[in-house]
Structure 1
Amino acid sequence: MAIREPRLWRDKGWTARVIKNDDDEGWAVAMLKDGEPEPALVGPWTMGRDKKNPKPLDTNAFNTLVKTASEVIRRHEQQLHAQLNKSMMLSTDEADYKILLNIVPDDDDPYAYLSAEDAAGNLLAKVKVTPNYKLNRQNALKWIENEFRRPE
């Protein structure tokens, strides 16, 4: 159900709430995606004409806030994906390989998979490794030379 109040809008799976900025005399707006415990975005909010109260939320402001908060979430997801999924191309005299490291961030028992693909994308090997395994050229070459046996 949509809510459209001067300091609270709820629509399209998002809630915008204008709040007192604890850091100074001004106001802030918090954007919360439905089902999430923390705001995706908290930013300064414009003062109204009386210079004491916040400017009321409106359709254009809400839509802009939704777009901005969605972009923040998308960038965060891309950053997390990049931290958890690494890859490199490697050429040897025998073949070209794509070596991948995919980290599974389990709270109790994190782990990772080290895998190798040929130039056509066919899986050649996949082994479980520690999540702090360092994927670099030297370790990848050593793994290939050891016939894709699980690194120590």
Structure 2
Amino acid sequence: MDPSSDQDEDTSTPDVIHSPRTWRDVGWTAQVIKNEDDDGWAVSMTKDGEAEPALVGPWTMGRDKKNPKPLDTAAFNTLVKTAAEVLRRHEQQLHAIMHKNVVINTDAGRVRVTLDIVPDEYEPYALLTAFDAYDEQLAQVSVSPGFKLNVNSATSWIDADFKKPGR
């Protein structure tokens, strides 16, 4: 069988492109674009499969001070590293918003209270959970995703013998 006639070729992986204004490789695409706000240039970094760029920033002018500096391997690798870091920080921030915890010292010992938001498309909710010092679950209730977990709300929940808040 001639490999060049293989009809089952995977077309879901974008082709590698190394051109002066477009560089696609290792799951990312860098695109040098005209900055509409001024005479300069910008570069956008988009992860394969994503609709929106993870990073857009200024791009250096070329020697003629009219056209953009062409993309190259070193610049592309730096852009990939920077864009990946932006995505990582965004994921960390989202995780911090969706998962909170506080530690309360009670007469019975240390209690860690967590709030984990479940972003269901139709009925989002959050789970309020208490753990003892040995990480054994003491209680768990479902609450509104807008529940504000802080030292006061956790203490109130513990003092109410873990009854669902708001009741």
CA RMSD of aligned residues (A): 1.0
Partner residue of 2:39? 25
Q: In structure 1, how many angstroms separate the alpha carbons of the residues matched to 2:152 and 2:33? A: 53
Structure 1's consecutive aligned runs of 4 or more residues displaced over 6 angstroms after TM superposition are none
Q: In structure 1, how many angstroms separate the alpha carbons of the residues matched to 2:111 and 2:138? A: 9
TM-score with structure 1 setting the length: 0.96
Alignment gaps of 5+ in structure 1: none
Partner residue of 1:149? 163
Partner residue of 1:50? 64
TM-superposed CA distance for 1:6, in Å, is 0.5
Partner residue of 1:104? 118
Which letter maps to 1:53?
N
Report the structure number with the largest CA radius of gyration: 2
TM-superposed CA distance for 1:73, in Å, is 0.4
Give the one of 14, 17, 31 matched to 1:3: 17
Q: In structure 2, how many angstroms separate the alpha carbons of the residues matched to 1:82 and 1:5? A: 39
Matches within 5 A, 1:1-152: 1-152=15-166
TM-score with structure 2 setting the length: 0.88
Q: In structure 1, how many angstroms separate the alpha carbons of the residues matched to 2:154 and 2:75? A: 50
TM-superposed CA distance for 1:94, in Å, is 1.2
Which letter maps to 1:117?
F
TM-superposed CA distance for 1:66, in Å, is 0.0
Alignment gaps of 5+ in structure 2: 1-14
1:114-150 Cα offsets, whole Å, 9 max, x none, are 0011111111111110011111222212211222121
Which letter maps to 1:22?
E
Which letter maps to 2:159?
E
Q: In structure 1, how many angstroms separate the alpha carbons of the residues matched to 2:101 and 2:116? A: 9
Identity of aligned residues (%): 62
